[in-house]
Amino acid sequence: MVKVAYINVRLLDPATKLDAVGALLTEGEEIADFGPNLFKASAGWRVPSGIQVVDGKGACLSPGLVDMRVQLREPGEEHKETLKSAAEAAVAGGITSMVCLPNTDPIIDDVASVEFVARRARKVGLVKVYPYAAATKGLAGKELAELGLLAQAGALAFTDGVHALSDARVMRRVLSYASTFDLLIVQHPEEPALALGGAMNSGEMATRLGVPSIPKEAEVIMLERDLRLVAATGARYHAAHVSTAESIEAVRRAKARGVRVTCDTAPPYFALNELEVNGWRTFAKLSPPLRDESDRQAVVEGLKDGAIDAIASDHAPQDQDSKRLPFAQAAFGGVGLETLLAVSLDLYHNKAMSLLDVLANLTHKPAAIMGLKAGRLEKGLPADLMLFDPNRPWKVVADNFRSKSKNSPFDGRPVQGRVLKTIIDGRPVFSLEADT
């Protein structure tokens, strides 16, 4: 069994607050040992013979990122993204596990579709891919999918993807059924009637540009309704990509009451605001839309105080034909796998959060929500790791992405934080040195 020693690294484990210079040993697919004193000698490092040595040269070694919201586009829209191109982008971004939405063609609402994702992921052999399954058949919001069978087949949780479960009666049935088996329901909280026809956040900017808008109330109305149903049913509920101050406050209050709710956000909602839309820039057309500055600051506060539990890439690849349209007609979405770490580290560089707290939202916290044995340094766990330099500057150039689609709202942005190596099950799957 191959043994590899990563020496002279800054060990970071947000789950245990470990932050120390040391070494880590992988044996086969698992973490065998780690710590400040491992292989430490009076003068440097002493690694027994027969063990491969990787000198980290002072770089940070942490658990790989766990991305809980990715749109794969395969099967059905391979011209936008394939599982292979998404996997290559993910490992370049330090992501070792990702959970994909069911809005493919065919939709992931039966056992065969769940098994297809698993087979394709094994064939690609890079990032670990787990599927959500549809909460309702065909994502139509009417008839419940076979949640129990789909969970047995490997679906981690259930969602109608980019569509809200808008029918309150159906949502109550979904939550009641899910609570029986302690399954997780994930919601895109947006009242569809209020959002219908809208393309950006409602406000002065939308008025000035003459763009039809979506009121921020569309998010909190749906969320408040769901939270009442969750409290009534005792189900586990997760709100995806929250983006407004009122929504975050609603989650904060619900948690204080003991409601089983978690939520995530995505880098655009703490790093950008609606001013990015100026000039009808369709790469900044996202769902939910970019909000105003007060909401952006509320998202940062929500991450700081724990009201928001995780950061996801919200990766939504779109091809040029979908984005090179008048703003109102352009598709929603932005790619995010390769910028997830670097943009999130803005929170560390601007001193809003510590490095460990930023990483916590990208590793063990999303892993815990999804029930994955990942996102932490622990003996016996899979050696899913990321070696990175949090201070290394680079400029986002979307044309250089491994993703097939290049629709990044961060294109041209200077960032700090670069992934140097990604290791999955003890096996190196990305090296910046080899890539450049």
Q: Hey, CA dihedral for 170, 176, 181, 185, is it positive or negative?
A: positive
In terms of Cβ atoms closer than 10 Å to its own Cβ (0-12, 13-18, 19+), residue 65 is: buried
Tokens 């994502």 correspond to 139
Choosing from 295, 309, 314, 389, the catalytic residue is: 314
Q: How far apart are CA 255 and CA 203, in angstroms?
A: 30
Q: How far apart are CA 15 and CA 6, in angstroms?
A: 20
Q: How far apart are CA 98 and CA 70, in angstroms?
A: 7
Q: How many helices (H) and strands (E) does the chain have?
A: 16, 21
- Catalytic-residue membership of 314: yes
Q: How far apart are CA 29 and CA 32, in angstroms?
A: 9
- Strands 385-395 and 60-63, bridge-based pairing: antiparallel
> How many CA atoms lie less than 13 Å away from 426 in the CB half-sphere?
21
Q: 3-state DSSP: the chain helix, strand, coil percent, rounded to 5?
A: 35, 25, 40
Which pair of structure tokens corresponds to residue 53? Answer: 């040595």
Whether the Cβ atoms of residue 435 and residue 402 lie closer than 8 Å to each other: no
Residues with active-site annotation: 314
